[in-house]
Amino acid sequence: MDLTSPTATKVLGGLGLLVVAALGWTVAVGPETSTLAETRQSVADIRDQNAVLTTQLASLVKQQQQLPETRRTARRMAQKFPATADQPGLFEAVTTAAVDAGIGAQGVTTLTPTPPVIGAAGVAADGAAADGAAAGGAAADGAPAAGAAGAPAAGAQLARQTVTVAVTGSYDQTQVLLENLEHMPRAYLVTSVSVSGDPAAGVFTTSITGDMFVMSPVEDPDDAPAAGTTTGTAATTDPEG
């Protein structure tokens, strides 16, 4: 082929243009196209992240609106399920229930609480505790365990202690006492009642066995430590404009 001929010149010129176009795509257009694809993917990721953060923000706003009622509920729960065994308070509450029933403090012959514990038996009985406590004016909820000293153990959910009360009084007084025990500010789940005595004399000795519960206090959000890091950052501008 004569390279000086018009036809050869056209062929060589066309090939040169193809080479220049290929080099231009490789050097300039190709990287820009890849960068644009990455930018678009980044925009999509940021939009998805913003949607998640918007949902989280709406949930937090709702929780903030419900916070006063949550605090009131926490105070009621702390009264029904104290943070410690509080044996002095327990003795006072049971004695008050007996006095209000007409039995009197001297009629309480036995008042024996066991240390709060948590275990398989306590976990299995949680459902029954919740039902029984609700019937007696208390609802058993999750609570931490307590050791022999009566302090809740970290990470536990519910601690219970068995409280045995023995009283001497009339049948009517004993009935009122049972009602008083089930309606004490502190939850008391009666599990068994044993009555003995002389019906003719009208004096009975009654042994009452039940459970009380221990729960660590609910942490107030205002007392919680500030978060050290954020879970995400919402984009304020759209890279595509």
For every one of its 241 residues, what pLDDT tens digit does the chain have, with 9 covering 90 and above?
555 666 666 665 666 666 666 666 566 665 667 777 788 888 888 989 999 999 988 888 888 887 888 788 778 887 888 888 888 888 999 999 999 999 988 899 999 999 988 854 443 334 433 333 333 333 333 333 333 344 444 444 778 899 999 999 999 999 999 999 989 989 999 999 999 988 888 889 999 999 998 887 767 766 666 555 444 444 444 434 4
Q: What order do you get walking across the sheet with 203-214 strand by strand?
A: 108-113, 159-169, 203-214, 189-198
Residue 125 is classified by DSSP as: T
**pLDDT at residue 42, rounded to an integer:** 87
pLDDT tens digits, one per residue of 194-239: 999 888 888 899 999 999 988 877 677 666 665 554 444 444 444 3
Tokens of 64: 């903030």
**How many other C-beta atoms can be found within 10 angstroms of the C-beta atom of residue 238?**
9
**Residue 163, beta-bridge partner list:** 113, 210
**pLDDT at residue 178, rounded to an integer:** 93
Residue 101 is classified by DSSP as: T
**pLDDT at residue 148, rounded to an integer:** 37
Tokens of 162: 């068995």
Query: Is the separation of the CB atoms in 203 and 169 below 8 Å?
Result: yes
Residue ranges covered by each domain of the chain: 1-77, 81-217
The superfamily (CATH) of domain 81-217 is Ribosomal protein S6/Translation elongation factor EF1B (3.30.70.60)
**pLDDT at residue 73, rounded to an integer:** 78
DSSP 53-85: HHHHHHHHHHHHHHHHHHHHHHHHHHHHS-SS-
pLDDT tens digits, one per residue of 170-184: 999 999 999 999 899
